[in-house]
Amino acid sequence: MEGLFITVEGPDGAGKTSVINELIPRLKKIATKNIVTTREPGGSPIAEKIRGLVLDKKNTDMDQRTEALLYAASRRQHLVEIIEPALVSGTTVVCDRFVDSSLAYQGAGRKIGMKEVAQLNLFATNGRTPDLTLYLDVDAETGLSRIQNHRSMEVNRLDVESLEFHQRVRHGYIQLLEQYPQRIKKIDAKADLDHVVEDCLQVIQKYVGDKL
Ligand code: TMP
């Protein structure tokens, strides 16, 4: 049987990386199948090179559609090299960001349009969709202040965008949540880390616990 495909999404400063770092060891304790974690943009050597390009703060002239295409290209390579083989072998894949990020950031944040970006990504993914998406919700002000206050967090080309941009991104996520209530589950990411991790575990157990 194919492995489970779980994605973790959220605006910048939602704390995805810390949550995933805490979540995975706990998930491994209760899972019967292997689990791999990976991330986007990146996750494979070629895709990581595209990550470097697309997040480089020096690339101030990058066109918005170029940006959307680069995320989709990185995703395609990562999917073919890492995600699909793992799922086919029955491994559970936990991926830090996937198509929803492009819909929220490029579709809503950059105002390209969520439908347009969805079409572009359909070509990249051939329709591969996560079984479950944990959406870590945080308002744009809190997210941005977390990034500014934690120097250890990587500050990239999108982090330095305006508050309005990040508000549009969050709004995009909320729209997706309303559109796909079966797949996307909202977690309050303003709570402390232990709480957020606990909520994520409960959601996973409730919705896909039997397939772990
Ligand atoms: P990260 O900070 O979670 O590693 O993500 C890197 C940045 O890339 C983050 O600001 C969100 C952005 N991003 C997009 O704009 N579109 C995408 O499709 C993906 C995967 C990430």
Give the span between the Cα atoms of 54 and 13, in whole angstroms: 19
Q: Chain-wide mean pLDDT for the chain?
A: 95
pLDDT at position 94 = 98
pLDDT at position 148 = 83
Q: Using most ligand atoms within 8 A of CB, pick from 17, 38, 64, 97 the residue to mutate for ligand 1.
A: 97
Both tokens of 199, joined, read 């909520």
Q: Any idea what the CATH number is for the domain that residue 92 is in?
A: 3.40.50.300
Q: Which domain holds residue 72?
A: 5-211
Sheet holding 132-137, edge to edge: 35-39, 92-96, 5-9, 132-137, 184-188
The single residue listed with the structure tokens 């690339």 is 59
pLDDT at position 191 = 94
Tens-place pLDDT, residues 57-102? 899 999 999 999 999 999 999 999 999 999 999 999 999 999 999 9
pLDDT at position 48 = 94
The single residue listed with the structure tokens 């934690």 is 150
Give the rounded percent of residues in the chain with a pLDDT score beyond 90.
89
Nearest CA to ligand 1 atom 2: 12
Q: How many domains does the chain have?
A: 1
Number of residues that make up the chain = 212
Confidence band of 160 (pLDDT split at 50, 70, 90): confident
Q: Which residues have any ligand 1 atom within 6 Å of their CB?
A: 12, 16, 40-41, 55, 71, 97, 101-102, 105-106, 156, 158-159
Give the span between the Cα atoms of 20 and 3, in whole angstroms: 18
* Pairing outcome for strands 184-188 and 132-137: parallel
CA 79 from chain centre, in angstroms, equals 14
CA of 211 to the centre of ligand 1 (A): 28
Q: Check whether 42 has a pLDDT greater than 70.
A: yes
Tens-place pLDDT, residues 116-136? 999 999 999 999 999 999 999
pLDDT at position 153 = 60
pLDDT at position 152 = 62
pTM of the model: 0.95
Amino acid present at 173: Y
Task: Report helix, strand or coil for 203.
Answer: helix
CB atoms under 10 Å from CB of 64, counted, come to 12
Atom of ligand 1 minimally distant from the CA of 96: 3
Q: Check whether 114 has a pLDDT greater than 90.
A: yes
Atom of ligand 1 minimally distant from the CA of 39: 4
Give the rounded percent of residues in the chain with a pLDDT score beyond 70.
97
Compute and round to an integer the Cα radius of gyration of the chain.
Answer: 16
CA of 203 to the centre of ligand 1 (A): 23
Q: Using most ligand atoms within 8 A of CB, pick from 7, 16, 40, 100 the residue to mutate for ligand 1.
A: 40
Task: Report helix, strand or coil for 1.
Answer: coil
Q: Which of 13, 49, 170, 157 is nearest to 107 (CA)?
A: 170
pLDDT at position 151 = 59
Give the span between the Cα atoms of 173 and 189, in whole angstroms: 14
Tens-place pLDDT, residues 135-157? 999 999 999 999 888 756 667 76
Q: Check whether 185 has a pLDDT greater than 90.
A: yes
Give the span between the Cα atoms of 10 and 174, in whole angstroms: 10
